[in-house]
Amino acid sequence: MSALIPDTPRLRGVLSPVLTPFNPDYSPSAPRFVAHCKNLLEQGVGLAIFGTNSEANSLSVAEKRALLDALLEAGLPAARMMPGTGACALPDAIELTRHAVSAGCAGVLMLPPFYYKGVSDEGLYRAFAQVIDEVADESLRVYLYHIPPVAQVGISMGLIERLLKAYPKNIAGIKDSSGDWSNTEAMLKAFQPQGFDVFAGSETFLLRTLRGGGVGCITATGNVNPGPIAELYREWQSDNADTLQAGLDAVRNVFQKFPMIPAMKAAIAQRAGDEGWATVRPPLVELTAAQRASLEDGLASVNFEIPGAQTLALPK
């Protein structure tokens, strides 16, 4: 059984798909990872470790287990964690989900099996159902991960409806990274009233999602701009909300001119004074020197900074 207290509050607000720092040999750098997660929590952002921007599908099951354990051993609260546990292989998804639940994580973010394209809702239903049935824990809270621009395998409204009917205690919500506001809006209208929590997949849609009844966002740039994104979540009903949203959009627009993961890592490396942060695991590659210079020019134009960046460097 899990260590999750039954009345643990459901996840809300802003979560970051936490970047995974690597050593020169491409092994995960646990000390940097723990430091980064601590800083994110201090900025008011939860931890969606092993998401897309974590390079999660370039990590092994053993590496993910070890990194989660490193966070727990460092005393970071499992109640603020939503590890990504979806995988193409069912045994991997089951193992990762079971480990997250036993650790007391507040939820898991679950990709559909994504290697085979054009699969049916029936096949996807069986995959999610098998994980839930094998873990067999009422405290398991699954947040579906809809990211068709990357996975090319989406989660339909019909599939959500069927899963909610079959597993009302386990299916908790969704991260919608479709980039299609009409899709997010449809989910909000159809399922949020049933207690199915909708997270936007980018802070670009945070204000609209909150105004539509959603619960927050799980966003890449939560890694590098956590405080201001969390501020909008807190202040979304204020007169200043649209101005705050515009500020978030300006920062994101700088980063998304480049490959996002290498760009965010380069920004951290620059501000932490630790070039090790710029390392990405193949098949990704680091930004070129010219790209980094252009990124820094763009960030200077929006007065960008990372509070606590000095704590992210690997101790010498």
SS percent in the chain: helix, strand, coil, step 5: 50, 10, 40
Q: Taking the mean position of all CA atoms in its chain, how far away is CA 250?
A: 21
Q: Which helix (H) or strand (E) holds 263?
A: helix 260-272
Q: For residue 115, indicate whether it is catalytic.
A: no
Q: Which residues contact 260 (CB under 8 A, 6 or more apart)?
A: 53, 220
Q: What is the 3-state secondary structure (H, E, C) of 46-77?
A: EECCCCHHHCHHHCCHHHHHHHHHHHHHCCCC
Cβ burial of 112 (10 Å; 0-12, 13-18, 19+) is: buried
Q: Which residues contact 84 (CB under 8 A, 6 or more apart)?
A: 17, 48, 49, 50, 51, 54, 56, 108, 109, 110, 111, 145
Task: Round to whole Å and give the CA distance between 215 and 172.
Answer: 12
Which of 175, 257, 265, 316 is flagged as catalytic? 175
CA atoms within 13 A on the CB side of 255: 26
Question: 218 among the known binding-site residues?
Answer: yes
**Residues constituting the chain:** 316
Q: For residue 145, indicate whether it is catalytic.
A: yes
Which of 145, 165, 167, 233 is flagged as catalytic? 145
Phi, psi of 197 (to 5 degrees): -85, 130
For the annotated binding site, the residues are 218
> Which residues are tagged catalytic?
145, 175
For the annotated binding site for pyruvate, the residues are 218
